[in-house]
Amino acid sequence: LIGIWAAGLVRSAGAVLLDASADAELDSRIRHALAQAEGDVYDFHLWRVAPGRFALIIGVRSANGTPAGVYRRALAGFPELCHVAVEVHSAADLPLKE
């Protein structure tokens, strides 16, 4: 009985620790919302921190100096996000990789 319980615990904890439990549908909705704001999202990390709660870190390359608040407002409609970090860099600082 303890072995069965432990195996279930290892599976669920392992999925969280390996970031395998990010919600694909939420990921898609967030990326769509960010696409509406100007800028190129070059770094995107979404992971579950609690049941139904997620943290997000994004890096954005902006050609016109769009402030981080624009991207935060684009994400305001996602109550699942309990922690959001936004980094905005100018296009001159982070040129596109070829």
If DSSP codes are grouped into helix, strand and coil, which group holds residue 27? helix
Helices (H) and strands (E) in the chain, counts: 3, 3
Token readout for 67 is 């402030």
pTM greater than the 0.95 cutoff: no
Digit-coded pLDDT (tens) for 70-87? 899 999 999 999 999 999
CA proximity to 40, closest of 79, 97, 84:
97
Digit-coded pLDDT (tens) for 13-70? 776 676 665 678 999 999 999 888 877 888 999 988 888 899 999 999 887 878 888 8
**Whether pLDDT at 98 is above 50:** no
Dist CA 83 CA 9 (whole Å): 25
Residue for token pair 């870190």: 57
